[in-house]
Amino acid sequence: MKKTLLICMVTAALVCAFALPTLYAVDAPGDMVLKAPAGAKMTKAPVDFSHKGHAAVDCAKCHHTWDGKAAVKKCSAEGCHVDTSKAGKKKPESFYSAFHAKADNSCVGCHKSMKKAKAKTGPTKCGDCHPKK
């Protein structure tokens, strides 16, 4: 009895994890190399990012202003994470905070909180995302 329930729950979880992305009309692009927006000075190496490697994460977690239908905006789009100044780094509208803030939808924020919870996750050290050239 207990075993059947467990199998049901695991199946439901798997269905959710894999069926969720198909709810959206937009496809996620393949592997990307993330860079600072044009005009901003880059002090670190560009970062590899794989949508496939994050298939278990809901699109709207990262694309947190997206309605699921319109075109997906870049993180640095107008009115979003536009501040690329060093002084503005800590502000929520900074480019830096989109990827490093202590929020569970930033790269570093999510990886760190999952690591703390001892779950399998991505890198948390600077050099593991920004490889030294």
Identify residue 119 by its one-letter amino acid code: A
Residue 117 within binding range of ligand HEC, rule CB under 6 A: no
Under the binding rule (CB under 6 A), the answer on residue 35 touching ligand HEC is yes
Q: Which residue's CB is nearer to ligand HEC, number 88 or number 122?
A: 122
Through-space distance between the first and last CA atoms of the chain, rounded to whole angstroms: 56
CA atoms within 13 A on the CB side of 47: 24
Of 12, 15, 50, 70, the one binding ligand HEC by CB under 6 A: 50
Q: Are 96 and 87 in contact (CB under 8 A)?
A: no
Task: Name which of residues 63 to 82 contact ligand HEC (CB under 6 A).
Answer: 63, 72, 74-76
Taking CB under 6 A as the criterion, the residue among 6, 8, 24, 64 binding ligand HEC is: 24
| Shortest distance in whole angstroms from residue 73 CB to ligand HEC | 7
Q: Which residues, other chains included, contact 118 with Cβ-Cβ below 8 Å and sequence gap of 6+?
A: none
Q: Are 113 and 105 in contact (CB under 8 A)?
A: no
Which residue in the set 6, 61, 65, 90 belongs to the binding site for ligand HEC (CB under 6 A)?
A: 61
18: left (phi over 0), alpha (psi -120 to 50) or beta: alpha
Interface positions with ligand HEC (CB under 6 A): 21, 24, 26-29, 32, 34-36, 42-44, 46-51, 53-54, 57, 59, 61-63, 72, 74-76, 96, 99-100, 104-105, 107-108, 110-111, 114, 120-126, 128-130
